[in-house]
Amino acid sequence: MRKIHFIMGLLLSALSCRAQVADVLVDFEDKAVGEVIPVFSLEGSAAARAVVAADPLNAQNKVVHVTTGADATESALNVRVVNLPTGKTLGDYEWLAFDYYRADEDLDNGDAYVSMNGKEVWRDARNICYEARGRWNRRVISLEALKGNTKTRIAPFRFGYLGGGKDYYLDNIRLVRDVDYGYDLDDPATTLRHYADALGINVGVAMGDGQGFFLSNGYAKNPDSQLTRTFTGLFNLTVCENDMKWEVTEPEQGKFNFSPADQLVEVALANGMKVRGHTLCWPNHLPGWVYGLKTREEMMAALKNHVQTVVDHYKGKVFEWDVCNEMIDAGQEDGLCRDLFYNVFGPDYLDSCFVWAHEADPDARLVMNDFLVEIDGDGKAMKLLDLAVKMKRKGIPIDGVGWQCHCYWLGCFAWQKQKMKTLINRYARYGLDVSFTEMDQGIGYNDRDKLSAWEAQAPDYRTLMELAVECPNVSSIIVWGMNDPYSWRPSYDGAQQPLILGDYLQAKPAYTQMLDVLKASVVTGIETVETTDGTRGNMNVVYNLAGQQVDASYKGIVIKNGKKILQR
């Protein structure tokens, strides 16, 4: 029973994990099935209606079912609730949360939104449309705009949908307060960034269109907001999940749109963070016009212009690019997928993209990025290694590879750490770095909010952080999403709560274990700290924190003459 699961989840959070208080505004249990709820509609209002109905997955629960006519341009459910706990106002709450459901057969791509007092505070198209089909999904929205409001006790929320022919369900509309985040942004010693900076490791987070709360309404540009402080306080690197992909940056041939990505880049650089670029060449997320390119010459001209225009726009801002993404096919002798670029351009498209990117920004690091390539001996992993080495030997300007590190079963990395380390060392022999670029680890739908499930996913995160600390040629570890409700995984394979921060940005056990690894690597008992770029003085006899002799190319903390030195 979903509502019992929801209540138990809150109980577990309060007793076992990071606590918060959720005050339910509306759960429809006190209403009769068939009761009509007032609905707002701009057009087609006669056909737009909201009715209390049985939960499509559990008939014992009551929910609200919203439908709209085919000609409606917008419809919305108004929620005005005055039953906040005594002494509480909206300004006491940090988050608005609700559950959302759409039928399996409903494939419409309209935009869902929430507004307060006429001001839109959240919009979510992709995740709602794809993830919410056939299952209940949780959504959370920051109430940053109401912070400090001591007067309002009415919740004037509007849950809307743009477009006609909609069919969706809402339930458990609630306000959340008193969140125990599990870290103190005023105490750097509780943050990943503090120790990552000390060790010279990039610990990053992807920000996607799902995290619309972050960039909307200027929250990201408010340095005092909880959202911005969490983003810039916990991480020292970021990457756009989707906003640098071809369909966004060049939706029409020769017409570029950098505005969505520019917002994130601006906030990151203003706060001393690094930015990775993702991705220049990938046969997915392409605008329709690219599929119309039928000759090698057409594809070459379009691909070169796209790569160089995008890289040039972010020259000096993006330090590393995923030049090509998901190009490996272990079943092919040359290791390359027979995708659009291969079939129209030819196998040399890969080399060309790297050369063009290097011409546009000679200082940017360039890598290939792929999935299921993390384990030594696996066919796809060895094909990527072989391809990268061949490119390096040919003089192609490649600096390393990206391992996406999407974990598809619990323990998939923790159980195979040594094989991963062996493969990382193989890359090191050829002067190639490895980045963990898209880490996430999901749990089952029925295990949501369970501390035991969160603890079970933590060792895989810990393993990657250990490898990042132990292996000098691991340059970055990136979590693919900021907090659980806005991960891509539920819409892809149903994996739930796959990230290190929970619904309300609270630290999960995965965060704590990653932090523990960084702490242990920094705390050596040697008090004196110096910094070097690795080129000054005699750096031939130095040791890392594991007691291994390293040279000047090593990045991180080393010991020389009894002193701890941060070598960059």
Active site residues: 326, 438
Cis check for the bond before 191: say yes or no (omega within 30 of 0). Answer: no
Alpha carbon distance 90, 148 (integer Å): 9
How many residues comprise the chain?
568
Q: Tell me the residue ranges of DSSP E strands in 404-541.
A: 406-407, 433-441, 474-479, 529-532
Q: How many CA atoms lie within 13 A of 559 on its CB side?
A: 15
Q: Report the chain's terminal Cα–Cα distance, integer Å.
A: 54
Helix (H, G, I), strand (E, B) or coil at 324: strand
Token representation of residue 491: 């819409």
Question: What's the gap between Cα 354 and its chain centre?
Answer: 25
141-144: which pairs have CB atoms within 8 A and are 24 or more residues apart? 141/95, 141/96, 141/97, 141/114, 141/213, 142/94, 142/95, 142/213, 142/219, 142/226, 142/227, 143/90, 143/93, 143/94, 143/95, 143/96, 143/175, 144/94, 144/219, 144/222, 144/225, 144/226, 144/227
**What is the rounded distance in angstroms from the CA atom of residue 441 to the CA atom of residue 459?**
10
- Judge contact between 329 and 336, C-beta under 8 A: yes
Can you name the residues that pair with 119 across neighbouring β-strands?
A: 116
CB atoms within 10 A of CB 127: 23
The dihedral sign for the CA sequence 350, 353, 359, 364: negative
Give DSSP secondary structure letters for 91-103. Answer: GG--EEEEEEEE-
Going by C-alpha positions, the residue among 455, 419, 461 that lies closest to residue 441 is: 461
Q: Are 515 and 195 in contact (CB under 8 A)?
A: yes
AA letter at 138 = R
Query: What is the arrangement of strands in the sheet containing 119-124, beginning at the earlier edge strand?
Result: 39-41, 74-81, 155-162, 112-116, 119-124
Q: For residue 12, how many C-alpha atoms fall within 13 Å in the half-sphere facing its CB?
A: 15
Contact 419, 377 (CB under 8 A): yes
Q: Is 256 helix (H, G, I), strand (E, B) or coil?
A: coil
Q: Which residues touch 164 (CB under 8 Å, ≥6 apart)?
A: 43, 44, 68, 69, 70, 71, 72, 73
> Rounded distance, CA 459 to CA 474, Å?
18
Return the residue matching tokens 């985040």: 181
How far lies 198's CA from each of 126, 188, 194, 463, 529, in Å? 38, 11, 7, 20, 10
